[in-house]
Amino acid sequence: MLEVDRIAKTFPAAATPVRVLDDVSLRIAPGGRMAIMGPSGSGKSTLLSILGTLDEPTAGSVRLDGRDPFALAAVERAAFRNRAIGFVFQEHHLLGGLTALDNVVLPALATGAAAPGVVERARELLDRVGLTHRAHAPPGELSGGERQRVAVARAVVLGPRLILADEPTGQLDAASAAVVTDLLVELAAEAGGMLVVATHSQAVADRVGTVRHLVSGRLEP
């Protein structure tokens, strides 16, 4: 379960500190899905960065399956993040010098050599996202929708408990956005993981499931 209790985030500023998140709480059970909607500047990316342990809250707590990742040392937290959390961003962040297959395998290399079966799992995922024939192509030879499908496969290759997607369809046309969103939902469900998608698109949010609105740093009921 993902348990977020009254988190806040304030950034220092020359005059008055800027409060980006204010008293945000949410719960997501195993297998649960949630879309966070809100305009640019509402705090969506900051919230996902905290859920993904890339940034720390100023106040409040985050627990994933009963563990507080912010109680861990930096190295332990990085290992926890790599193992338990998968990310999909608006920018695909694929490495241009690697093939699509290599990019999917990449999270498994964070702690050394890929474990047995990871490459085969990566091949299976590329097949699921319809890119078997593009497995050995570099990102520069893929369309925007294809690159995001590779990014989705990479996010789930290690079977994370929590999948976070920050405007994953923001640069795609409506048809590609629908494909990428459906793949996120399907692959998260198969893994039994929790899915949180930040988006400004009502069409994307409707495909995810439960919808919450983040307005001026506060999460509406």
15-51: per-residue pLDDT in tens?
Answer: 788 889 999 999 999 999 999 998 888 899 999 999 9
Is-contact 90 170, C-beta < 8 A?
A: yes
Could you read off the pLDDT of 52-61 as tens digits, one per residue?
Answer: 999 999 999 9
Could you read off the pLDDT of 137-194 as tens digits, one per residue?
Answer: 999 999 988 999 999 999 999 889 999 999 888 888 888 889 889 988 998 888 888 9
Tokens of 157: 């290759």
Is-contact 174 186, C-beta < 8 A?
A: no
Q: Which CATH superfamily is domain 2-219 in?
A: P-loop containing nucleotide triphosphate hydrolases (3.40.50.300)
Q: Where are the domains of the chain?
A: 2-219
**pTM listed for this prediction:** 0.91
**pLDDT above 90 (res 112):** no
Taking alpha carbons only, the member of 37, 68, 33 closest to residue 50 is 68
Per-residue pLDDT at 114: 64
